[in-house]
Amino acid sequence: MKLKLSMIFVFLLLIFSFVLVGEVRAGWLIDGSGTLVEVDSLALDLGEENEVMIAEMDINDSTDKPLVKGVDRAKKLNQDTDDRKKQMKYLNQSIQSKIEVEEGRIRVQQEVKNKDGYAWQRKNILLPQSEILNIKRPDGKSMRISVNEENKLEIDGAKLKTKTSSALGIGEDNKLVVTRKDNLDEVINYYPDVAKVKLEEEGIKVISENAELDSEKETLVYRFETEKKKRLFGIFPFYFKNLTDVSTETGEEVESILTETSTWRKILSKLSF
């Protein structure tokens, strides 16, 4: 039953894709090995989000040609990624990527380095206008990077969009790296959606699907729009709007600034704790 439902889901995704675009278009992916590859968007959607489901599906007897073709492409994408990871490990190589905005488009620069740190292979690709860069995270989830209307990089993952004016990078094990204002690179330990969950576990509600990655301070932080609960005179509960900074390293709250515009609400906040 589970397999049948999976096949129905994949088939509907295939039909939707063909109806929407008329043909399968290309997409860009930094896969689990760190390699930048161009793949068709259908294989990307199926392979990246449904790896276990795709691997378990047996469609040898299916007469549905679009279904067979789409699943075959997804399986090949997953297999190619595994092969590249094994090759990188065997050769003791690593890949580093830098992602920047150039004339409203994403530019990706990649270096393949040997065990001594020598870059023996390079890629420098300017993605087509409005193209999205898909990236496989170390935790197995996917994130998408695009250029927003402010001409800034925007990280999209788990229904949360995080913009930044900084250059991004993909380092060892596909970890996200941010270039700070002092031009030093810092590895991100907590992704935006993970930091959001941690914040809400502490009782602070995130009220916007948009966040910002700020590299202008000494500590890299995510800036969330939040509501914090306080009690008037320690008794009556009220929620107050804030901008809350969260460390990308620890996932802990660094600072909160009250953003209430009403004078009355500001007074209430001062009388609450």
CA distance 33 to 82: 8
Q: Please give the CATH number for the structural domain made up of 192-270.
A: 3.10.450
> What distance in Å separates the CA atoms of residue 66 and residue 59, rounded to the nearest whole number?
11
Q: How far is CA 174 from CA 12, 108, 183, 221, 254, in A?
A: 31, 14, 20, 20, 26
50-94 residue pLDDT tens: 444 444 445 454 445 555 666 777 788 888 999 999 999 999 999
Q: Where are the domains of the chain?
A: 1-24+39-91, 192-270
With beta carbons less than 8 A apart as the criterion, state whether 77 and 43 touch.
yes
Q: Are 254 and 219 in contact (CB under 8 A)?
A: yes
Compute φ and ψ for 2, nearest 5 degrees.
-65, -40
Asked if 154 and 160 touch (Cβ cutoff 8 Å), the reply is no
- Cα separation of 136 and 45, whole Å? 12
User: Residue 65 has what pLDDT?
Assistant: 56
pTM reported for the whole predicted model: 0.82
Q: Give per-residue pLDDT as tens, 1-22.
A: 544 544 444 444 444 444 434 4
Q: What rounded mean pLDDT belongs to the chain?
A: 84
User: Closest by alpha carbon to 135, among 107, 170, 179, 84?
Assistant: 170
Residue 181: φ, ψ to 5°: -65, -25
Helix, strand or coil, per DSSP, at residue 33: coil
Span 17-53, pLDDT tens digits? 444 344 445 689 999 999 999 887 666 665 544 444 4
Partners of 58 in the beta sheet?
Answer: none
